[in-house]
Chain A
Amino acid sequence: MSRGLRLIPIILLLWLVVGLAWRLVRPADTAIPSQMVERQVPAFTLPAALAGKAGLGATDLATGQPRLVNMFASWCVPCTGEAPVLAELKRRGVRIDGIAVRDTPGALAAFLARNGDPYERIGSDAQSEVQIAFGSSGVPETFLIDGKGVIRRQYIGPLNASNIPGVVRELEQLR
């Protein structure tokens, strides 16, 4: 065998080691973006998650006004951190609806009493059915929806204060 050919296994090994090291330093992005962005909200109706607050359906999201839909849960820790951001968005005139994933009325009421309640409607998604229909893979996630009921933007993970101007601007543009 020629010298060059003998080097092939070593080169392959080096390539493998460098590849693995690179992925260790820079882990791949594990977020799975929804393919439903730029598509009509899937048809759904969710029962009210709390007594005294309306549930949520697809028709409530096509009202001529852009809206923000927040998937959250009382058992989700980052959702607590996101609550002040949603409160500030509401203060700036953003219309917010909630989808409570796998939650109970008692735990949800306690969560809202503790963290504030920016939601106009909250649907109860007991088996993550609507979450899956939206192409969402966890809580919290936020979707911006235009007046015709088309999903225009997905935020994976909790919104933070730096997202506020962007969200307000995007909703303004959807108007």
Chain B
Amino acid sequence: MKRWLLFIALVVAQPVLAGSNLPPAYWANRQLPNPKQEGQAQALMDELRCLVCQGQSIADSDAELAGDMRDLVRRRIAAGEKPSAIRSWLIQRYGTWISYKPTDEPAAWPLWLAPLALLLAGAWLIRRRIRLKAKD
């Protein structure tokens, strides 16, 4: 009986949502009036990783921290800061983790080399096939 009660309690339990007490920041869900700046902001936000929902970009995430980061990106771009400067400011805080844009660090080399390796492997396979056919 007790076990069942525990089970039911588990099933009906609601997660405690850690929603803050404040509405989203001003620029979190609002586009910049200047379309060129908004385009720059959007491109950068697509490449920044959300700290809360760690598989999403801050452009996609509904987390409040992502909203605050969108606000930060848009305000800085409206103030004339370059997207690359904002990106490196964030990388200085969170490491390259925060950026989806692949770097040229050694850790990312397999990523750059993989297409080449696959092409070579494909060429090798095709060559083999042609040779086998020629033998027939």
A interface residue numbers (CB < 8 A to B):
30, 32-36, 73-77, 101-104, 107, 126-129, 131-135, 137-138
Contacts and interface: CB of A to CB of B under 8 A. Distances in A.
A32 B18 contact: no
Contacts of B52: 137-138
B64 A32 contact: no
A75 B65 contact: no
Contacts of B18: 75-77
How many residues of B sit at the interface, in one of the four size bands? 20 to 34
Contact of A32 (B22, B25, B51): B51
B16 interface: yes
Contacts, number: 69
Contacts of B3: none
Contacts of B97: 32
A35 B95 contact: yes
Given A132-B69, A137-B65, A138-B65, A104 B93 contact: no
Q: Majority SS of interface residues in chain B?
A: helix
Contact of B22 (A76, A103, A129): A103
Q: Majority SS of interface residues in chain A?
A: loop
Contacts of B93: 34-36, 132-135
A75 B21 contact: yes
Given A127-B71, A132-B69, A30 B54 contact: yes
A128 B64 contact: yes
Nearest to B24: A127
Given A75-B20, A102-B22, 20 more contacts: A32-B97, A33-B95, A34-B94, A35-B92, A35-B93, A35-B95, A36-B92, A36-B93, A73-B20, A101-B20, A102-B20, A107-B21, A126-B22, A127-B71, A127-B72, A128-B64, A129-B72, A135-B93, A137-B51, A138-B52
B21 A103 contact: yes
Nearest to A135: B93
Contacts of B20: 73, 75, 101-103
Contacts of B98: 32
B47 interface: no
A133 B97 CA distance: 16
Given A127-B71, A128-B68, A32 B94 contact: yes
28 contacts: A32-B97, A35-B91, A35-B93, A36-B92, A36-B93, A73-B20, A75-B20, A75-B21, A77-B16, A102-B22, A103-B20, A107-B21, A126-B22, A128-B65, A128-B68, A129-B72, A132-B65, A132-B68, A132-B69, A132-B93, A134-B93, A135-B92, A135-B93, A137-B51, A137-B52, A137-B65, A138-B52, A138-B65
Contacts of B90: 132
Interface in B1-58: 16, 18-22, 25, 51-52, 54
